Chain A
Amino acid sequence: MGCSSTGGKRAEDARKAAAAGGRAAVDTPRWTFGMVTHSGDGDTFWDIVQNGAKQAAVKDNIKFLYAHDDEAQQQAQLVDSYIDKKVDGIIVTLAKPDAMKGALARAEKAGIPVITVNSGSAESKEFGALTHIGQDETIAGEAVGDELNKRGKKKALCILHEQGNVGHEQRCEGAKKTFEGKMENLYVTGTNMPDVQSSIEARLQTDKSVDAVVTLGAPFADAAVKAKEGAGSKAEIDTFDLNEKVAAGLKSGSLGFAVDQQPYLQGYEAVDLLWLYKYNADVLGGGKPVLTGPQIITKDQAAELEEYAKRGTR
């Protein structure tokens, strides 16, 4: 009586029981690794990266610290703080590479190994990092352009939700390069969801010929779907990155495809590779970035991934 046989906390607990728990699998010293990202507050993508990093930290007997700031100057100061703390390894994103150059040089001077993740594949080596783990944004964009061609699209919108993010610009440029139709950029305020939705809606209302909308982050795909309904448009909504809702949308057919860069892997590998470097002086990648994407996900893989997305690892 009054119980739900589907979903809710009970289903979540069952998922938790099936997820990897664990304790340290090695007896190396308890090193401390600090991670500093350019994420704003409350970003689902970075939760998944952190989940991967924490899982690896448990296995490798690592104390894992995390800090983030979306202002370049603040991000550099956070890296400085970890250097002051004399951590044993630093993981950092280079969304605004020039601002981080000095901080990485200071880490090198202090003898702290650095691994860059997610953004900055072009600068990582030059700034003295061991390895870069992530997706090449241009290649990922090109994959989107190819997929849109395959689906016979003629006019697409690329929705940029973070003005000033070089990686986002590269994604849209990559897609433009391979897409045979016409592609236009639309800038929206990512921190304000209603604004995202109304901007896309206005654009779809004024231009009925748009048949594909590409969002650059999973939370924005949902807003784009709502905007499409509001505008009565026929456009297919596609997105970069994955979350629970996107997986469900792929399954139900409200979304066309998603391009995943496997954020869990970025966090997990960063911690693990730092551990390998500290333990065995191993460096992966042979001086080239280690790519975690792009992986095109369609209806076929959605059901399996939805389960993992709910668990916060995809």
Chain B
Amino acid sequence: MTATAPAPAPSPGTKSDERLLKTSPLKKLLGRPELGSVVGAVAVFVFFAIVADSFVQATSLATVLYAASTIGIMAVPVALLMIGGEFDLSAGVMVTTSALVSSMFSYQMTANVWVGVLVSLLVTLAVGVFNGVMLTRTDPPSFIITLGTFLMLTGMNLGFTKLISGTVSTKSIADMEGFSSAKSVFASTITVGGVDFKITIVWWLALIAVATWILLRTRVGNWIFAVGGGEDAARAVGVPVAATKIGLYMGVAFGAWVSGQHLLFSYDVVQSGEGVGNELIYIIAAVIGGCLITGGYGSAVGAAVGALIFGMVSKGIVFAEWNPDWFKFFLGVMLLLATLLNHWVRKRAEATK
């Protein structure tokens, strides 16, 4: 059961009800939003496997997966938000905010670090609620609202950190109680067959599973597609538009909280000026994964594959020993190709319906 494309109009002369139209499994597969990105991911993988020998070692793939997961944890909720027809430009710095709040609260209160982690969850979710409420209660589009939040958070990250810690980075909390247990949850390493995998990969997979279940198996998922597809129509049939959008922003905030705690417990110190610009990377990952900028179409799995492509390209360039001056150029070319391929596959899939 997909709630994506509108059902095809019944051809004249059909007697059966088109809502009960049986589609073959292959056609179902071809109609999935993430199909194009999966093809793109395979193409990118094969390409780097050919040009860089070291790319296909298990340790290298673990590094690539880690890079993908740090983007993917955010790309999944951002994709949900985009399916709901909105943007969040504050997602990048929100990660840093979440890490800063957690670290500084624990340090200043000399509390068990888990207290800081939970306070940080509340603060980050509050930022998400703020974004959602501002959007649903006022007129400007989410692009403008969250641009404001982005600038405010960037300033607050730096301002508060300087004010409280006296420097531009937080103080180390590595010697405080609860640090090691929190580290094992957010930033530990799992060794499988001699290869170290970061726990963020597990978080990433869990988020993909939850997001996919919400989208495809629950009423909320239908609401998300509905508000993204047509807000007024959705409101007319009784979808709680405001609540859905606020919930989506809280989802992004939750992702930012997970990413932020990972940053904090990986490095036990947070730099206040980081995270700017990453919000675009999350959006790019979602778009490569088949989300439409206009909303109403996309998938969580697609966004995750988009993050994987991003991770493969950014690390593949290093493994292939290409000149780093051209790094951004290659990244742009790869992303463009992946998106075009994606689009082409989708067009083909729709043509066969």
Q: Which residues of A contact B (CB under 8 A)?
A: 41, 65-68, 71-74, 77-78, 80-86, 96, 98-99, 101-102, 162-166, 169
Contact = CB atoms under 8 A, between A and B. Distances in A.
Nearest to B328: A41
B67 interface: yes
Interface in B316-351: 318-319, 321, 324, 327-328
Contacts of A78: 318
B172 A164 contact: no
A169 B315 contact: no
A163 B161 CA distance: 11
| Size band of the interface chain B makes with A | 20 to 34
A67 B324 contact: yes
Interface string B300-322: 00000000000000110011010
7 contacts: A73-B266, A77-B67, A96-B271, A98-B172, A102-B267, A164-B271, A166-B167
Interface in B37-84: 54, 57, 59-60, 63, 66-67, 70
B97 interface: no
A247 B263 CA distance: 41
Interface in B139-172: 158, 167-169, 172
B54 A86 contact: yes
A45 to B, nearest CB: 15
A298 B313 CA distance: 46
Given A84-B54, A163-B273, 7 more contacts: A71-B275, A73-B266, A73-B267, A73-B274, A96-B267, A164-B158, A164-B168
Question: In terms of DSSP, what is the predominant structure of the interface of chain B?
Answer: helix
Contact of A66 (B274, B319, B324, B328): B324
A71 B168 contact: no
A77 B169 contact: no
A164 B274 CA distance: 8
B308 to A, nearest CB: 14
Contact of B271 (A72, A85, A101): A72
A81 B324 contact: no
A49 to B, nearest CB: 13
Given A72-B267, A73-B70, A98-B172, A81 B315 contact: yes
A111 to B, nearest CB: 14
Contacts of B271: 72, 96, 99, 164
With a 10 A CB-CB cut-off, give which of A41, A82, A85 has the most chain B CB atoms.
Answer: A85
Given A65-B321, A66-B324, A81-B319, A163 B168 contact: yes
Contacts of B167: 166, 169
A77 B66 contact: yes
B272 A80 contact: no
Contacts of B158: 163-164
Contacts of B273: 162-164
Contacts of B3: none
With a 10 A CB-CB cut-off, give which of B59, B275, B328 has the most chain A CB atoms.
Answer: B59
Contacts of A164: 158, 168-169, 271-274
Nearest to A163: B273
B205 interface: no
A71 B93 CA distance: 12
Nearest to B167: A169
A84 B59 contact: yes
A166 B168 contact: yes
- Leading 6 A-B pairs by shortest Cβ distance: A164-B273, A98-B269, A84-B60, A163-B273, A81-B318, A99-B267
B52 to A, nearest CB: 9
Contacts of A41: 328
Interface string B258-280: 00000100111101111100100
A96 B167 CA distance: 13
Nearest to A185: B162
Contacts of B324: 66-68
A166 B268 CA distance: 16
A209 B22 CA distance: 81
A68 B272 CA distance: 20
Contacts of B275: 71
B268 A169 contact: no
Given A67-B324, A98-B172, A163-B273, A84 B319 contact: yes
With a 10 A CB-CB cut-off, give which of A67, A80, A81 has the most chain B CB atoms.
Answer: A81
